[in-house]
Structure 1
């Protein structure tokens, strides 16, 4: 753990203690709620806690990225001696030529010289003169990796590549057979007709995003043009995907975790007992935690909006202990009732009767079907007056929960 990360964690821990001191001061005066000055002080402290949480996540991501890069470099050095030099060099030259052609196209809108020979591999079955091109697979994979680093569901979901198929079908066990029977040596047990199979189907849906980059930035930036395009597209795609994975309707888009549906998570997995009409309570969280079967707990995590976590940070158990535990070790998440939690800006945060306010689950049971077929269009004339170049990225994906018993939604009473 870096010194900066350690310092950030210690600072956040001290702020959390200060926030709790505000609450305990009010409780010491036998008040059930904070006065206006105390509430303002608490909100100010908690805002700093949230800001530090973002910084800590960023620092952890950097540490992890550096670790992966070091591992990859070491692995490549080890593999280099065992790989055919000629074959390896040819493959590397090929990939470099494709990326060179793509980089030239991003920056200048044209491909010249040696790179022009690789244009045939980047052309789509559309009008090249109109600016359409198929990015190299390396670029697409890097784009998806950038998206992974920005959002939560993709990091934990099961992601399946569907490069050419129109859909992904997977069998599901809709009804389990009854338990086995204790029998004599010659008996075979009772016949069971309850077991039933179904099917979950994912159909990648088109997703498009438009970004604008100034001509000056493309010309003088120390970062290469394709990196600029990739980072901006990753941000645009990532936010749109995360919203759909959480609240998507399933009609022309992924089916979200917070969308009640018999095709995903039905209302039978909603838990409101113990909560009030306007707030989450300790008893409600206990009900939710133990509605989820124990075999899912090792990989399970809560997900709440920061407004919900602000409420949860004040909750105590029956012995007067806060149920929220901040992490003080690198790579170890904050915990709620012993299980890690995720703060998402796109989780529901409307605290009224019957609304969803959180979820607990094993997110590997959310499946994402990715089509690697991506197109990129370069728009020059449209933004000429503002000295910018537009890029439109198009890709296809779908997602849905495939096993509802792996999830429990927290609902207000």
Structure 2
């Protein structure tokens, strides 16, 4: 039995135990006992989430091991031992090595050859010649993108549609709404009537984001055992990931991305001010056109507190819970109404006038990211603390290109 399978089976038992606790709650159960049972249920589900995190780590480790064991196309192949990697691979490796040296030592203390490589990676800030910092190498950028999605699903290319561009110019994007039109049956020699297709345009910009200053002590920079590149990258990914995910979720579109919650049509007059029911979720589910509900990217999105409430809701007729755990046998993820979901802490909690749940085909929301990610190294500014500062800059935007693809559930005002 694999480790992941073992953990999944433990999760299944936790779910069964938790639901047994809820089943003990009857109409005449004293309030104190109800609170006790619900607390035990929440404790069991917290353990379920802890195991889920372990499973994710195990899956990531297995994927990494597969990558390491895969054939390296830079190695000599067959009997021809002279076959080596291409020039681009050598250039990429040189840039990566020079950039690591830049992070740890700065330009002044770098070998002349490495200093030349880093200066060739200079970023050009808008309107200036040499104040844009230095562009990170491809490997750094690839790992940064992986880290960004950990801080919010809106930056996850497995959830939204992520468009990476080399430059930051505005991108007009055509949209079309033809949902109200259909073909027609006509007779012989009958003129075809004209039906107008509603075309529109939305523009993807490139709003500039910064990580703020990441301070690293001189001791860490001097310690060769410390992965300075990884430390700086992780800190920047967390900071940019949090604000980026929040703006892509609830941004108002004014000098920032138009968040998916802001752009989507709200389903109103259904959910109470401070509650969420099975029927509310059914209403939201059917507010989205069936064609979108069958899209591979379809999912629910809500915060962790809302998930906690949804786990306790069941159909009073059939006794089936709205939330179903991951399937041990097939590896299918946990679902709501048989659809996957993403936890997004930028989503509002259940409450008066709040938009607490989104549902639909999330790949109709396009996240535009500029490939260039620049880092500046600050020495003198923090010299009296014996620290070095690093600032990261990137540009991104987001827009829902089809308003019918995603709907949000909005609670009553009171």
* TM-score, normalised by the number of residues in structure 2: 0.87
- Number of the residue aligned with 1:54: 53
Give matches, 1:108-257, under 5 Å. Answer: 108-110=105-107, 111-125=110-124, 132-155=133-156, 156-176=159-179, 178-192=181-195, 194-209=196-211, 210-257=213-260
**Structure 1 residue ranges without an equivalent (≥5):** none
The more displaced of 212-221 and 398-407 is 212-221
> Contact 1:131–1:378 (CA<8 Å) still a contact in 2?
no
Contact 1:274 1:281 in 2 (8 A): no
CA distance in 1, matches of 2:348, 2:28: 34
- Larger CA deviation: 216-225 vs 85-94: 85-94
CA–CA distance in 1 between the matches of 2:251 and 2:63? 30
Q: 1:362-377 residue pairs with structure 2 within 5 A?
A: 362-377=361-376
Q: Per-residue deviation at 1:92?
A: 2.2
Pairs aligned (count): 401
Whole-angstrom CA distance in 1 between matches of 2:27 and 2:180: 56
Match in the other structure for 2:282: 286
Partner-residue secondary structure (3-state), 1:35: helix
**2:123/2:130 contact within 8 Å kept:** no
| 1:170-204, Cα deviation, whole Å (9 max, x unpaired) | 11114556322211232232222x32211010100
Q: Which runs of 5+ in 2 are unaligned?
A: none
Q: Deviations over 1:24-47 (max 9, x none)?
A: 111275679963323332333333
Give the Cα separation in 2 of the matches to 1:154 and 1:119.
28
1:344 aligns with 2:321: no
Corresponding position of 1:103: 100
Residue 63 of structure 1 is matched in structure 2 by 62
Q: Which whole-Å CA distance do the structure 1 matches of 2:77 and 2:163 have between them? A: 29
**Could you tell me how far apart the structure 2 residues matched to 1:411 and 1:60 are?**
36
> Aligned partners of 1:112, 1:412: CA distance in 2, in Å?
61
Q: Distance in 1 between matches of 2:57 and 2:382?
A: 33
* CA drift at 1:355: 1.3
Residue 190 to residue 138, structure 1, CA distance change in 2 (3 Å): same
Shift of 1:58: 2.9
TM value normalised by structure 1? 0.87
Q: Deviation above 4 Å: which 4+ runs of structure 1?
A: 28-34, 77-81, 83-87, 125-131
